[in-house]
Amino acid sequence: MGILEKIKKNKWLAKLLFTNPPRVTKKIINGFRHEKDFYHVENTHVDMKELLKCALCPNMCRFECPALRVTQKEMYAPATKARLMYHGERGNLDLTDLHTAEVAYMCTNCDGCREWCPMDISTGDLLVQVRADLVDRDIHIPGTKEFNNRVIENQTAFVPDTFSRDSELNVKMDNPEVFYYTGCVMAEKKPESVKANMKVFEKAGIRYCTYTDERTCCGGPLATLGFNETVKEFARKNLDLFDKSGAKIIVTDCPACTNTIRNTYKALGFNHKFETYTSVEFYRHLLQEGRLTPTKPVNISITYHDPCISSRGKMGTIDIENARYIFSRIPGLDFREVHLHGTVTQCCGRGGVSHVHHPEISDTIGKQRIEQLRETGAEYIVSACPACEEGFMFNDGNPVLDIGEILARSIEE
Amino acid sequence: MNFDIVYKKRVEIGDINKLKTQLSEIVGTEWASTEEADLVAYSKDYQLITNRWIMEGTLPGLPHIIVWPENELQISQILKIANEQKIPVVPYGEGSGVVGAAIPVYGGIMVDMKRMTKIIEINKQNLTITVQSGANGKWLERELEKKGFLIGHVPQSFHTSTVGGWIAHRAAGQFSTKYGKIEDIVLSMRVVLPTGEIVDTKLYPRASDGPQIEKLFLSSEGTLGIVTQATIKMWPLPKKQEGVAYAFKNIEDSLKATQLVMQKQVYPAVIRIYDQNETERHFYAEPKAKNRVMVIFVCEAPIESLVDLEISEIRKSCIECNGTDCGVGPVKHWFETRFNVKESSIYIPKGQIADTIEISVMWDTAVECYHSVIAELKKIDGLILASGHASHFYPNGVCFYFTFSGVVQDGKTPEDFYVSAWDAAMIGTLKAKGSISHHHGIGISRARWMRDEHGPVLTLMKRIKSTLDPNNIMNPGKLYDEPERE
């Protein structure tokens, strides 16, 4: 909105402010001046002004909150979570009481709340900030600190196994065009998807590297849990590796990794200049530029689960249309749209690393989404986020494919 | 926890652990809580003064225990225990009520209905849906939409309110001029009475078989029992929707135009009249609306020609009352912003005390009533905003929806200002023979005006209440009487 438009919009407010008796106007101005008194807190990561705004809302986004839908308790409605954490940050509630602190983690960071917020607030983002305060105060709900320690030890979200160091996945070459950053989940749990993506890159003539033996977790899961110091350490390592590789473009098979490298690293002070793409974004470019032409019919029926992170919130809506464009280019594919899709996609349950600290809630959310996807009658669930795909597979949603696998199937050998 | 409490006069519960054990045996240990954060979560609803209180570190009320039952039998057992031990019970849906009706003013047991959300039956022949009362409006809409239906009841709280809450407050939605208010939509219900009996009212399209008991629970605000299930109407999705907007010289002309529309039996889904202040606030981008009163109409139906006919008749009425056609821009703007609730978040931290108050009035004193309420509000020291719109229409009258905002003057508390504004609106309404609430209910905010509203009928209401709830356990301190504080 331009300045003129803003003036026009707020003319009524200016009139109200300046057509009162002086003592009333003085009170109004005082109110504006002392607003901070209602949200000021020393030494916090939390944007307290925004947290209070959220806390004062009647929960207009509550219907979209998967954590609330599954727990069915008022404490876990978005604005109520904000209110309780506002009281916690202000010292009215005791955050060392883990039942209270747990409120900050009853969120899958799906950003469904922001989608409906006229103030563009993500309750999930605010809760991530609260989690960072809790970490600073050494307050940990069960599972989170252990997870952080495990990732530090293994440099990946999982115990190290053969996949991430597998020679087939570990590609190095001189002057690569692209650094294909394999997400921990994809590399560990879905190596066949990594191979499919590699096939697509090769078919499109992309010079790429993976350095699976040197890469570390992007840190995204730890960022959502508030372990910012670990994320900084991982950011340093990964950015050094990207530099070393010589690639200028980073393509990830996990939109959460893209977000971490594109946005979180910068927010933590790492101002790198790498171009970052989700695989979906990148594939659309390849198709549009004619570097890739699907010709082989893929005669299956699929439905598509839009991952939250690349369909709303932190990275906008970039991949909603991109994914559908890719499907439209694949011959023979029977694409069936699920009722709630695009910006109103539903959480898979894996967001916010919920399966680490609240596995039952995470799995129930995942099962509810699988049920919605199955209503389409499609044979396959397809997504573009390994965490979503892993969650669906874990919760009996098979067969589940990554969008890269569908594209790879449409390419002649 | 470290809070002051506004409603301090909590009942004394001898042994809270014993009560928790008793209730846990009914609902399961996971579904009964006395944890601090849980009690604080249920300490308020959306009565707007409570937002000021929480910023000051003050809780409106504090329940002793929260329970989350999953069926009527459990609720029945809970109420029997509460009745035996004379413990207050407050039913809770999604806490979006704006008159304080869900605040636990005497503490007690908070019964959250969120686990009861099942759709029992969708009957396409009867065009009805039977659903449990904890179901959220938007969730229900999505479920019906998939099957090609809608409920037509879309209050602004739609995203954050339940079927039970709509019934408890006799709610009205944005599309109510066509689809009806909740009393037109609900056909039957299941209620757990304060003494634990579970009753189902009969499902019929209409009957002449004695007093309509189900109507008794509409607007009872949880004081007569807990509604657990209802059969409500649904409609096929419309095939056409069209809107028009007209600007008028003044509120009188706009009311005349809408009265004409209603009395020639055209029932648009939506009609909204915004007075000059609100037109300036909401429709600043529309040049034809400058210093005028904006009216928007939305018509929809499964038959396209019906919409065309309604729109054409609306246009004729507006032209007859010297309205200026503003096209569809204002209608689009209304659709885009109709669920935007952000003023409280923005202005309450800036020290302003604000609220909205809806009332209803017959056509013959409608204009007088609008001016009367605005004039009374403007008398309040510190008031900076008094505006209104009309949001619901009938062949016989209209609902006005007023907004006030102001700052607290020296020597007064925020609540003093808040109460004086509410009183002003009530006085202005009653002077013009209006009714003190159209669809938000009474709760705490209007309880002191019930005698002026009803006269001896209030005594009758209290007799019904004491017959059904002899120990006054169901949501005491609301509707009939103001809560005591100390």
| A263-300 confidence digits (pLDDT tens) | 999 999 999 999 999 999 999 999 999 999 999 999 99
Q: Do A380 and A81 touch, CB atoms closer than 8 A?
A: no
| CB of A119 less than 8 A from some CB of B | yes
A372: chain B residues, CB-CB within 8 Å: none
| CB of A7 less than 8 A from some CB of B | no
Q: Do A31 and B407 touch, CB atoms closer than 8 A?
A: yes
The reported pLDDT for the residue numbered A163 is 57
* Comma-separated ranges of CATH 3.30.43.10 domains in chain B: 4-113
Cβ of B138 within 8 Å of Cβ of A339? The answer is no
| Contacts of residue B225, Cβ cutoff 8 Å, sequence gap at least 6 | B191, B192, B193, B194, B217, B468, B469, B474
Q: Sorting pLDDT into bands at 50, 70 and 90, what band is A11? A: confident
The reported pLDDT for the residue numbered A6 is 82
* Comma-separated ranges of CATH 3.30.70.3450 domains in chain B: 240-337
* Comma-separated ranges of CATH 3.40.50 domains in chain A: 160-287, 291-409
B37: chain A residues, CB-CB within 8 Å: 75, 84, 93, 97, 99-100, 103
Nearest in space to B87 (alpha carbons), one of B477, B479, B445, B471? B471
Return d(Cα B313, Cα B238) in angstroms, integer: 19
A92 closest CB neighbour out of B57, B342, B348: B57
| Contacts of residue B459, Cβ cutoff 8 Å, sequence gap at least 6 | none
What percent of chain A has pLDDT above 70?
A: 98
According to CATH, what is the number of the domain A34-136?
1.10.1060.10
Cβ of B345 within 8 Å of Cβ of A54? The answer is yes
Calculated CA dihedral for residues A339, A343, A347, A352, nearest 10 degrees:
180
Environment class of B419 (CB within 10 Å of its CB; exposed 0-12, middle 13-18, buried 19+): middle
Dihedral sign computed on CA atoms, order B279, B285, B289, B294: negative
Alpha helices in A65-182 (DSSP H): 66-71, 78-89, 98-101, 112-115, 123-136, 144-154, 162-165
* Comma-separated ranges of CATH 3.30.300.330 domains in chain B: 343-440
B114: chain A residues, CB-CB within 8 Å: 72-74
Which amino acid is residue A291, in one-letter code?
R
According to CATH, what is the number of the domain A291-409?
3.40.50
B95 closest CB neighbour out of A24, A74, A99: A74
* Comma-separated ranges of CATH 1.10.1060.10 domains in chain A: 34-136
Cβ of B114 within 8 Å of Cβ of A52? The answer is no
B142: chain A residues, CB-CB within 8 Å: 339-340
Q: ipTM for the complex?
A: 0.97
The reported pLDDT for the residue numbered A232 is 97
The reported pLDDT for the residue numbered B106 is 98
CB pairs under 8 A between A and B: 166
The reported pLDDT for the residue numbered B480 is 96
Which amino acid is residue B14, in one-letter code?
G
Helix (H) or strand (E) holding A400, with range, is strand A400-402
Q: Sorting pLDDT into bands at 50, 70 and 90, what band is A413? A: confident
Q: Do A83 and A320 touch, CB atoms closer than 8 A?
A: no
Q: Sorting pLDDT into bands at 50, 70 and 90, what band is A157? A: confident
Low-confidence ranges of chain B (pLDDT < 50): none
Specify the pTM. Answer: 0.96
Side-chain half-sphere CA neighbours of A287 within 13 A: 22
Cβ of B344 within 8 Å of Cβ of A57? The answer is yes
Angle made by CA atoms B79, B85, B89, in degrees to the nearest 5: 40
- C-alpha distances in Å from residue A214, one per residue of A35, A170, A278, A382, B293: 50, 9, 21, 29, 67
Picking from B47, B90, B407, B413 by the largest number of A CB atoms within 10 A of its own CB, the best residue to mutate is: B407
Cβ of B384 within 8 Å of Cβ of A52? The answer is no
Nearest in space to B335 (alpha carbons), one of B270, B397, B386, B379? B270
According to CATH, what is the number of the domain B240-337?
3.30.70.3450
- Which letter, b or e, does each residue of B239-257 get, where b requires 16 or more Cβ atoms within 10 Å of its Cβ? eeebbbbbbbeebebbbbb
- Which letter, b or e, does each residue of B200-234 get, where b requires 16 or more Cβ atoms within 10 Å of its Cβ? ebeeeeeeeeeeeebebbbbbbbbbbbbbbbbbbb
Cβ of A12 within 8 Å of Cβ of B340? The answer is no
Angle made by CA atoms A85, B340, B301, in degrees to the nearest 5: 135
Domain A160-287 is found in CATH 1.10.287 = no
The reported pLDDT for the residue numbered A161 is 62
A58 closest CB neighbour out of B96, B145, B382: B96
A38 closest CB neighbour out of B55, B95, B340: B55
Task: Please state which architecture CATH assigns to domain B343-440.
Answer: 2-Layer Sandwich (3.30)
| Contacts of residue B481, Cβ cutoff 8 Å, sequence gap at least 6 | B447
- Which letter, b or e, does each residue of A76-87 get, where b requires 16 or more Cβ atoms within 10 Å of its Cβ? bbbbbbbbbbbb
Return d(Cα B62, Cα B42) in angstroms, integer: 7
B348: chain A residues, CB-CB within 8 Å: 56
According to CATH, what is the number of the domain B4-113?
3.30.43.10
Encode pLDDT of A308-337 as tens digits. 999 997 888 989 999 999 999 999 999 999
pLDDT higher than threshold 60 for residue A76 = yes
* Comma-separated ranges of CATH 3.30.465.10 domains in chain B: 119-236
Give the residue-averaged pLDDT of A331-354.
97
Environment class of B18 (CB within 10 Å of its CB; exposed 0-12, middle 13-18, buried 19+): exposed
B343: chain A residues, CB-CB within 8 Å: none
Classify domain B119-236 at the CATH class level: alpha beta
Per-residue H/E/C for chain B: CCCEECCCCCCCCCCHHHHHHHHHHHHCHHHEECCHHHHHHCCCCCCCHHHHHHHCCEECCCCCEEECCCCHHHHHHHHHHHHHHCCCEEEECCCCCCCCCCCCCCCCEEEECCCCCCEEEEECCCCEEEEECCCEHHHHHHHHHHCCEECCCCCHHHHHCEHHHHHHCCCCCCCHHHHCCHHHHEEEEEEECCCCCEEECCCCCCCCCCCCHHHHHCCCCCCCCEEEEEEEECEECCCEEEEEEEEECCHHHHHHHHHHHHHCCCCCCEEEEECHHHHHHHCCCCHHHCCCEEEEEEEEECCHHHHHHHHHHHHHHHHHCCCEEEECHHHHHHHHHCCCCCHHHHHHHHCCEEEEEEEEEEHHHHHHHHHHHHHHHHCCCCEEEEEEEEEEECCCEEEEEEEEEECCCCCCCHHHHHHHHHHHHHHHHHHCCCECCCCCCCCCCCHHHHHHHHCCHHHHHHHHHHHHCCCCCECCCCCCCCCCCC
pLDDT higher than threshold 60 for residue A162 = no
